[in-house]
Amino acid sequence: METYTRRELLRLFPMALMMVTGCAGPDSSTKGPAPPTRLRRRTSTASRTSIIPPPKPTLAKPTILPRKAWTSALPMTSRLDRMGCVTRMTVHHEGTNQPQVYSVVDVAERLRRTRACHMRSPSSGGMSAGDIGYHYIIDACGRIWDGRPMVYQGAHAGNSGLNRGNIGIVLLGNFDKSRPTPAQDKALKSMLEYLMKRYHVRSTGIYTHRELKPTRCPGTNGQLLANRVRAGFRTLRV
């Protein structure tokens, strides 16, 4: 076994120390090698944020005067049939020789009289209906009135088969003798567009009374109005 003098040990000691501790020196030996840096995965803001779909467009509903604005009477349900799926709409005119009315009070009275007439027996000039025959009424000022509840078939097109799934809309006035007012024109367009989108009925599902049954309704000028309105709806998506 080799022996070393004190002087030789002092000369060899720094070299041995470097072999043990490495080039970094004795201080780093106590800490050990630095741990590897952990890379954090960056997540984009878009992926962390939930994607919210844009809101669906709101279906604009025309202003409609409620049924209670003209009557508190309830339909006679024993005479009524359920509406079921809506597939079409029919435009009418009042067609009487009564003078046109404009005030809310006068229109309400006209609707009550119309309802009473519709509910009378055929021998008395009525239809034995369970309520006013139309679902909606448009007066000369363009006001839209709620008529027969939509859950029931109307009594406006001629028979149960024609009334099934058929929304009845009447414009007050006689359009063989006069023309619909501009306000009625605008209200009819608005109401039909709403109903078409609400029930997914195309323009081909809009009729006038004379197109379903031999009658003059809705008069010459009412027919012209309906033709014009339908033509404007041909490209409407429902």
Strand-by-strand arrangement of the 166-171 sheet: 64-65, 144-146, 136-138, 166-171, 88-93, 206-208
Residue 201 lies in a domain: yes
Residue 54 lies in a domain: no
Residue 46 lies in a domain: no
CATH code of residue 126: 3.40.80.10
Walk along the chain (238 residues) and give the pLDDT tens digit of each residue. 555 555 555 555 555 444 444 444 444 444 555 555 555 555 554 444 557 766 666 788 999 999 999 999 999 999 999 999 999 999 999 999 999 999 999 999 999 999 999 999 999 999 999 999 999 999 999 999 999 999 999 999 999 999 999 999 999 999 999 999 999 999 999 999 999 999 999 999 999 999 999 999 999 999 999 999 999 998 988 8
Residue 20 lies in a domain: no
Q: Domain span at residue 206?
A: 87-232
What pTM was estimated for this model as a whole? 0.77
Residue 67 lies in a domain: no
Residue 68 lies in a domain: no
Residue 147 lies in a domain: yes
Residue 120 lies in a domain: yes
Our count of domains for the chain comes to: 1
Q: Are 127 and 58 in contact (CB under 8 A)?
A: no
The DSSP string of 189-201 is: HHHHHHHHHHHT-
